[in-house]
Amino acid sequence: MQINTYTLENGIRLIHSEGNSAVGYAGLIINTGSRDEDENEHGMAHFIEHVIFKGTKKRKAYHILSRLDDVGGELNAYTTKEETCVYASFLKQDMERAIELIHDITFNSVFPEKEIEKEKEVIIDEINSYKDSPSELIWDDFEEMVFRNDPMGRNILGTPETLKSFTKKDILKFLHNNYHTNQMVLCVVGDISFRRLTVLCNKYFAQVPENLRIEERKPVIGYIPEYKEIEKGTFQNHIIIGNVAYDLNHPNRLGLHLLSNILAGPGSNSRLNMALREKNGIAYNIESSFSPYHNTGIFGIYFGTDAENLKRSLRIIERELNLLRNVKLGDLQLYKAKRQLKGQLTISMENKESLMLSLGKSYLFYNKVDSLEKIYRKIDSISGSDLLDIANEIISKDQLSTLIFK
């Protein structure tokens, strides 16, 4: 896969992978998210992701939404703890239309007061609907428990109280303080020459005023393992067991991804899926998650089960964790686990939108993109002893926190 890169004088970077599909994908990824909010700004990063669609210097909200819809394309956005992304899919002949639109809503939004007030109510509805989904809500509560008294622990949506306080002045302040040009990457996957793409990039992004990030994010400190049960009146019990974990630059990061995949990855033959669902029939959904961030990370195992099966499920999970902490994987087991992870990574690259976002995030955070062959070599270098060490560090019994919704 041929990768091309380019950097504008204001610090905005471009990464491109050329293809021969009739469909193209483009996204602007910005290294800012809910973690970068002050306490009185809780929910601001996500709120801005909504209101940039509500009007620019030359477009009303309807014209923004129709610009790509009219030609069969799609425009979307998302916010995480550490990033905001505006992205689009479109027919290849509409590449410039998409890139211009992404630039327009990101840098020329005017944030009409009427639209600001309307969108507050929309997001409050989103918050309330989220509360009706305990399998999602528990992750927010778990992160709040693990990252106690730190912005990393606050949920992305904010609260009705903070949302209602936001003004246009607050929005502009957050943009100035956090939308840094040297922390932005425009990523494109599509049938366009790199030369033509750099022309478009200069045409629409070169005039963005330079705004450089100088200070690094503060590290997260003070993790204390905790066990907590919360009465939610749910039909099922929902449970997360986890720990703080490796950051984006930790040498064991890929090893923990492999361990997480073995435990409860997407494969139906994961250890916990086999133990809880296939052998005992006491859980429907079991998943393991590892999210690395700047200078911190989080690992968690989620499952849902009926109340009468809770203690039994916890015993089974502890048995499986104990095996990983004490018994090194055999050569054949390790080979199969590595092959499974490599297959999943390769198949995910066939989704061009996912590929576009993956390339952009890698270039944003590491200023490089590893080839699949290099990633394969890194996976192959992980030993059974490495996984044993990782298990004893991350899933150490005395370092795990547990949250239960009952």
User: Tell me, what amino acid is at 149?
Assistant: N
Q: State mean pLDDT over 313-324.
A: 96
Inform me whether the pLDDT recorded for 1 exceeds 90: no
CA-CA distance, 70 to 316, in Å (whole number)?
A: 53
- pLDDT tens digit sequence for 25-51: 999 999 999 999 999 999 999 999 999
Fold agreement (3-205, 227-405): yes
Take residue 334 and report the two structure tokens written for it: 């390790």
CA-CA distance, 86 to 106, in Å (whole number)?
A: 8
* Beta carbons of 92 and 191 less than 8 angstroms apart: yes
DSSP type of residue 220: P
Q: State mean pLDDT over 10-35.
A: 96
CA-CA distance, 114 to 33, in Å (whole number)?
A: 24
Take residue 360 and report the two structure tokens written for it: 């952009």
Q: State mean pLDDT over 369-386.
A: 96
- The pLDDT value recorded for residue 132 is 85
Q: Burial letters for 224-248: b for 16+ Cβ neighbours within 10 Å, e otherwise?
A: ebeeeeeebebebbbbbbbbbbbeb
- pLDDT tens digit sequence for 82-133: 999 999 999 999 999 999 999 999 999 999 999 999 999 999 999 999 888 9
- pLDDT tens digit sequence for 390-403: 999 999 999 999 99
Under CATH, which number does the domain 227-405 receive? Answer: 3.30.830.10
- The pLDDT value recorded for residue 282 is 95
Q: State mean pLDDT over 177-192.
A: 97
Confidence of residue 157 (pLDDT cuts 50, 70, 90): very high
Q: State mean pLDDT over 352-356.
A: 95
Helix (H) or strand (E) holding 127: helix 113-131
* Beta carbons of 241 and 400 less than 8 angstroms apart: yes
Take residue 374 and report the two structure tokens written for it: 């290099």
CA-CA distance, 261 to 272, in Å (whole number)?
A: 10
Q: Please state the CATH superfamily assignment of the domain spanning residues 3-205 in this structure.
A: Metalloenzyme, LuxS/M16 peptidase-like (3.30.830.10)
Inform me whether the pLDDT recorded for 140 exceeds 90: yes
- pLDDT tens digit sequence for 220-277: 988 999 999 999 988 999 999 999 999 999 999 999 999 999 999 999 999 999 999 9
Q: State mean pLDDT over 16-33.
A: 96
Percentage of the chain beyond pLDDT 90 is 95
- The pLDDT value recorded for residue 137 is 94
Confidence of residue 15 (pLDDT cuts 50, 70, 90): very high
Domain edges within the chain: 3-205, 227-405
Mean pLDDT of the chain: 96
- The pLDDT value recorded for residue 19 is 85
- The pLDDT value recorded for residue 378 is 97
- The pLDDT value recorded for residue 221 is 87
